[in-house]
Amino acid sequence: MSTLAPVVAEPSLRIDDLCRRLRAYLDADQIKQVRRAYRFGAEAHEGQLRKSGEPYIQHPLEVAGILAEMHMDHETLVAAMLHDVIEDTPIAKERISEEFGPEVAQIVDGLSKLTQIEFESHAEAQAQNFQKMLMAMADDIRVILVKLADRLHNMRTLGALKPAKRRRIARETLEIYAPIAQRLGMNAIRLELEELGFQALYPLRHGVLTRVIQKIRGNRKEVIAKIKNRIKRQLRQEQLVAHVIGREKHLYSIYNKMRDKRLHFSEVHDVYAFRIIVDSVDTCYRTLGVVHGLYKPVPGQFKDYIAIPKANGYQSLHTVLFGPFGIPIEVQIRTNEMDQVAEAGIAAHWLYKTGESAARSAHKRARDWLRGVIEMQRRAGDSQEFLENVKVDLFPDEVYVFTPKGDIMELPRGATAIDLAYAIHTDLGNTCVGCRIDRRLVPLRTPLKTGESVEIVTAPGARPNPAWLNFVVTGKARANIRHYLKNLHQDEACTLGKRMLNRELERFDLSIETLDQERLQSALKSFNLANFDELLANIGLGVRPAPLVARVLVPGNQEERVEPARRRGRVENAPGPLLIHGTEGMVVTIPKCCYPIPGDPIMGFITAGRGIVIHHPSCKNVVEFRNAPDKWVDVEWADDLAREFSAEIVLDVANQRGVLATVAAGCADQSANIEGIELSERDEHHSHMRLTVGVRDRKHLADVIRVLRNIKTVVRVHRKRA
């Protein structure tokens, strides 16, 4: 059985009881330090009571008791005694450092919430505090162990709180802390957090399920005993020494299965699970053969986590069997060492010392995960985005794929080649253009499956596509794509803003290069901006109109010379239209409402946050800008356009076999790429077709329409305009 079985809360753990427990693995001086920390904490929290009415110091003492079960070192226990001191009392980090050393102070500080900062919402406060804790955890992994013990005791004593607060804390536990415990391999802690969280968040559902299970428990116990005895008997016949544990499935996992697969309780059959603990890896595989001989295995339900461990270091053989009465039973086969690590996770690093390779492996994998978390934090725009990315990362249902070199990569279920590329290296993700799965070219959005060999195809000039955000599943990929696009957006906005400001400055015989630097710095200060690039980006994104900024930057005497001429309608230096090249990126938008293409007359409108939106003058969406001339921008197509633009063609065609292929061939003959197609039946003889095609300009579009008009099955064809 696991050493980390859930701790039963004693009526009142006393410091003497704790110190007696610690004698089993700490020396006398270290125990004295823990006792001294208890006294220090008791004095600091003097007069403070918990909602339950007991003295506040009882909570840190219970947290230390949970950590003592894990055989944590004395510094962690001291930090547990003091973990709320900085947050809830006037004592500062420096004082703790003087009294108990910098390591203890660092752990306590990592666990203290940011109480001095005003937050706009509870969600923002939660995200900021979570981010602070994870960054501290990256420096010292013991931070999260104290936090999990703290959360576990809070969950055990949740009954004293108001229902709304109970539900909020329970939801946070199920969404963040139980998954973190799972990610770190701390199964016993996770199970108790999930059980308590489920009970607090959904008390009625928990009660109904508990009563149903209790009603049929007698019969189930009998079934478990029969299966267990048969497995033991068969193993003895094969002269294999093993410890067999039969158990019912965890209540929260039964509930999740019912919810996710929309099943009634009577339809959840695999509530029987058996764990077989043996002495060696070799015996694990021999035992697997015995149980497969005893009961038939369910196809596709075997997983070898010994050869390919989970990200948290978990190792075991998993198989599902057709048991007696047709009941599926889940069997896990592992060694003693694997069982210890499965229950304790990274805590096995302390609980079983560092001699065991699996314990060291769990600790290393936790460090690797944290490195990924830190990279996500660097790439995230704010703490709430970071929290969302971490939440995504905390719910993996793994697939294992191979790189061309034969390395095994673990990814969450549903992951694509983009996720794999970013998991290997950020630059590989940024330059990814395609992928080969088992040597076949497939779309980038294809979900990966366990056992596939995946090769990433890159190109030097490639860059992330915003559409990737619709199908990537890992937090790291999402954070890196957003970070790249954000910077790209900023660069493009900066370039466009520079063109727009220069165009306005031409009115005054000025340019950005000839601006007075003192006046520029004064303007930046008045706009409350850090630098000139930020100002240019604001102009490009439509946050600040270029004419207004130009007026602020131009000396008064030059403005006076130009203004009267402007009023008389004679401005020699009036700038020409802003040329649209189509390569401005995300700060110049060509909308789908009217599909303007080169050769069409166009109008530009400044839209805050999006830059310039280009419309055809006949577009219905131009109406909303008619009464806002300050948002108009004089624009014109540039001559040197080297890209294609989308246009929409509407066709009525005869209902004949092969008509779609004929239309597609006509477009291909004119080198027009079909980007989208919609087909609807108009009547029994005719269909209505909408094609979105990529064309260079109006002449190219006219050539495409002429070819389509000459097809016999095409009754009518025209360009669609808003």
Q: Which helix (H) or strand (E) holds 257?
A: helix 251-260
87: annotated active-site residue = yes
Which backbone phi and psi does 608 adopt, to 5 degrees? -55, 125
Under 8 Å between Cβ of 475 and 393: yes
Q: What is the C-alpha separation between 401 and 452, in angstroms, rounded?
A: 5
Cα–Cα dist 424/379, whole Å: 16
By the 10 Å C-beta count (0-12 exposed, 13-18 middle, 19+ buried), 278 is classed as: buried
Buried b (16+ CB within 10 A) or exposed e, 52-73: eeeebbbbbbbbbbbbbbbbbb
Q: Tokens 């579009």 identify what position? A: 701
**Single-letter amino acid, residue 278:** V
Structure tokens at 79: 């930090």
Closest CA to 295 of 335, 328, 268: 328
Residue 328 main-chain phi, psi, to 5 deg: -70, 135
Alpha carbon distances (Å) from 106 to 63, 363, 459, 465: 18, 20, 45, 41
The full 3-state SS of 195-214, as one line of letters, equals: HHHHHHHCHHHHHHHHHHHH
Q: How wide is the angle at C-alpha 502 spanned by C-alphas 497 and 507, nearest 5°?
A: 135
Active site residue 238: no
CA dist list (Å): 114 to 86, 92, 109, 149: 10, 13, 10, 20
Residue in the block written with tokens 């008509």: 659
Residues 694/626, Cβ–Cβ less than 8 Å: no
**Helix H or strand E encompassing 441:** strand 440-442
Contact 502, 548 (CB under 8 A): no
Cβ atoms within 10 Å of 313's Cβ, excluding its own: 26
Residue with tokens 């067999």: 244
C-alpha angle 87/92/97, rounded to 5°?
120
* Annotated catalytic residue within 17, 54, 73, 88: 88
- The two structure tokens encoding residue 121: 């919402």
N- to C-terminal Cα separation, the chain: 71
Question: Is residue 370 a contact partner of residue 384, using CB atoms and an 8 Å limit?
Answer: no
Q: Report helix, strand or coil for 180.
A: helix
- The one catalytic residue in 17, 54, 73, 87 is 87
Q: Residue 139: CB partners within 8 Å, gap ≥ 6?
A: 106, 110
Instruction: Give the closest residue to 13 by CA, choosing from 81, 108, 82.
Output: 81
Residue 129 CA to residue 97 CA, distance in Å, equals 21
Reported as type and span, the H/E element at residue 386 is helix 383-393
Count CB-CB contacts under 10 A for residue 262.
8
Alpha carbon distance 66, 150 (integer Å):
9
User: Are 308 and 295 within 8 A, CB to CB?
Assistant: no
Query: Annotated catalytic sites, by residue?
Result: 87-88
